């Protein structure tokens, strides 16, 4: 499991800035839940300092093996926080806690 986390962290290009959170959305084309997660993340991004990226798992064989049908998957600062659906209240709370 540690090897997977190192791989994911490297692929996500984690930010070294402490005041900004690195938020990564693992997705693939045609995923309606991924589109919903993206919309929630874009709403949060309007009032939070985030480094945001999306990664299409279909472009990486290892990510397809890891996540397959689990998407969307959201990582905050390299830690997996959500699968399938993103709860906006919980996301805001998680981002606030990490700022303390």
What are the extents of the domains in the chain?
A: 2-99
Long-range contacts, 62-65 (Cβ 8 Å, 24+) = 62/7, 63/11, 63/26
Cβ atoms < 10 Å from Cβ of 61 = 9
Distance in angstroms (rounded) separating the CA atoms of residues 51 and 76: 10
Q: What CATH number labels 2-99? A: 3.40.30.10
Q: Within 13 A of 43's CA, how many CA atoms are on the CB side?
A: 12
pLDDT at 19: 63
pTM of the model: 0.76
Contact predicate 49/79, CB 8 Å: no
User: Over the stretch 56-100, which tens digit does the pLDDT of each residue have?
Assistant: 999 999 999 999 999 999 999 999 999 999 999 999 988 887 555
Intra-chain end-to-end CA distance of the chain, in Å: 28
The pLDDT-based confidence of 17 (bands split at 50, 70, 90) is very low
């Amino acid at each position: 499991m540690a090897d997977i986390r190192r791989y994911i962290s490297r692929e996500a290009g984690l930010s070294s800035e402490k005041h900004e959170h690195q938020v990564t959305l693992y997705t693939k084309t045609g995923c309606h839940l991924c589109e919903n997660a993206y919309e929630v993340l874009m709403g949060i991004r309007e009032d939070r300092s985030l480094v945001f990226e999306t990664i299409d798992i279909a472009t990486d064989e290892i990510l397809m093996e890891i996540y397959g049908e689990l998407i969307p998957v959201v990582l905050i600062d390299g830690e997996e926080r959500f699968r399938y659906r993103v709860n906006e209240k919980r996301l805001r709370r998680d981002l606030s806690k990490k700022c303390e």
